[in-house]
């Protein structure tokens, strides 16, 4: 069996990542899922953080994925605080609970918000 390797996501991975995300979330919270579509549309969002989209690969197969977006929390005083959100974080059902999601988080967790506004 091949070891898990983490690397930045490439455009050629997009379809595999969306299919993996669909498989990971299918019927998990409710019938069907939308997380694969969310993954698709987030890549074209101005809040998408390029460079923090990573995949976990075993051999030639994508078995995990993570991506990040910027968001704002509205504060009680009327201000806002920029934050970084990750997700969807997806791991293929056959290899869940083996630490792949944790590896993706640890590989990508930034010390500050990239390209902060």
Provide the residue count of the chain.
117
**Nearby residues of 4 by Cβ (< 8 Å), 6 or more positions away:** 56, 57, 58, 63, 64, 100, 103
User: Phi, psi at residue 4, to the nearest 5°?
Assistant: -75, 130
Q: What is the mean pLDDT of residues 89-98?
A: 96
The residue that leads in pLDDT, 41 or 117, is 41
Max alpha carbon distance in the chain (Å)?
54
Confidence category of residue 71, pLDDT binned at 50, 70, 90: very high
């Amino acid at each position: 069996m091949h070891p898990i390797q983490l690397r930045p996501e490439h455009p050629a991975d997009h379809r595999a990542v969306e299919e993996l995300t669909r498989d990971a979330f299918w019927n998990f919270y409710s019938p069907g899922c939308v997380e694969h579509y969310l993954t698709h549309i987030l890549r074209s969002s101005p809040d998408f953080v390029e460079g923090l989209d990573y995949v976990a690969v075993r051999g030639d197969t994508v078995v995990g994925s993570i991506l990040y977006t910027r968001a704002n929390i509205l504060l009680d005083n009327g201000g806002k605080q920029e934050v970084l959100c990750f997700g969807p974080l997806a791991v293929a059902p056959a290899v869940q609970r083996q630490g792949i999601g944790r590896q993706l988080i640890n590989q990508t967790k930034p010390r500050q918000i990239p390209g902060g506004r």
